[in-house]
Amino acid sequence: MKLSQLARDTAPILPLLRCPLCGAGFSLREERSLVCMESHCFDLSARGYVNLAPGHNQQAEKYDAALFTSRRLVLEHGFYDEVLGAIIGMITGFLPPGRGFTLLDVGCGEGFYSRELARRFPAGQILGLDLSRDAISAAARQARAAKLKTHWLVGNLTRLPLADNCVDVLLNILTPADYAQFARVLSPGGFLVKVLPGTRYLEQVRTEVADHLRRGTYSNQPVLEHLEAHGRIVEQHSVLRTFPVNPEEAAAFLAMTPMTFGLGEEARGGVTFSEITIDLEILKVKLEAL
């Protein structure tokens, strides 16, 4: 991708962006970089994104290109379509027809939800952010191939490189959260969509690799309690379905989950299952203002 084109694509969201080091606004320099008022400089990438976390050690990332390739297969095979549908419903209920809005997908990974929402809401301003450069590079490439209007940022959710009160909808799907940062960037009428695992989420994987896990069972109660200390759940949708899987899909589920991070490729190859359970809670949340 030509940097001049990325610069033109980035210009409309420039008022939303803030320097992660000092919080100052940005200007474009020679269609190659974002430069803040304190002269901190962040390069545009020919791969279609802006890197606002250049000091992050990408080599240490466990979330690598192979993981996101596996996750893309799982998502595109429809296992999470009901989750996507619930998110679309929550956004649709918030918006008058055709109204523009700004959405930030925090921890967007390879960008599946951002891309699908860009298709569904062409008047929306869709931003995807992840700390993994591999993920954002893949997200930008796939969005560009689909000719979707999206914006991609490498950035840290604990220091979101965005202005106060500039986001209408914030997605946080199966990723860590920083509710103080989320509340800061959300507009007064905006809301968070939080997706978290239920007790039976990927239970077939958990059973097969139980000997490698610190805990054999999972409860989302601590996550819920932490969330409810920062906001109010105003809408909830539960997804609990068990699907058959073929060997390729089973291998992709194994490769995409942190539950198997301690397993080598040979050990994962010895794990087999023929079905998978998706157990997720989709929560629409009004966060408390700072």
Tokens for 66? 């192979």
pLDDT of amino acid 129: 98
Identify whether the C-beta of residue 152 lies closer than 8 Å to the C-beta of residue 131: no
Give me the amino acid identity at 223. V
- Residue-range domains of the chain with CATH: 46-287 (3.40.50.150)
pLDDT tens, N- to C-terminus, the chain (290 residues): 889 999 999 999 999 999 999 999 999 998 899 999 999 999 999 999 999 998 876 666 667 788 889 999 999 999 999 999 999 999 998 776 667 899 999 999 999 999 999 999 999 999 999 999 999 999 999 999 999 999 999 999 999 999 999 999 999 999 999 999 999 999 999 999 999 999 999 999 998 887 777 666 788 999 999 999 999 999 999 999 999 999 999 999 998 888 887 776 666 767 889 999 999 999 999 998 76
pLDDT of amino acid 100: 84
Count of residues making up the chain: 290
Longest dimension (CA), the chain: 56
Question: What is the C-alpha separation between 28 and 170, in angstroms, rounded?
Answer: 26
| 3-class SS of residue 90 | helix
pLDDT of amino acid 174: 95
Phi, psi of 107 (to 5 degrees): 70, 45
pLDDT of amino acid 208: 85
Overall pTM surpassing 0.85 (yes/no): yes
Please choose, from the candidates 22, 46, 164, the residue with its C-alpha nearest in 3D space to the C-alpha of residue 104. Answer: 164
Q: Which residues contact 170 (CB under 8 A, 6 or more apart)?
A: 103, 104, 106, 182, 185, 186, 190, 191, 192, 193
Look up residue 212 and give its DSSP letter: G
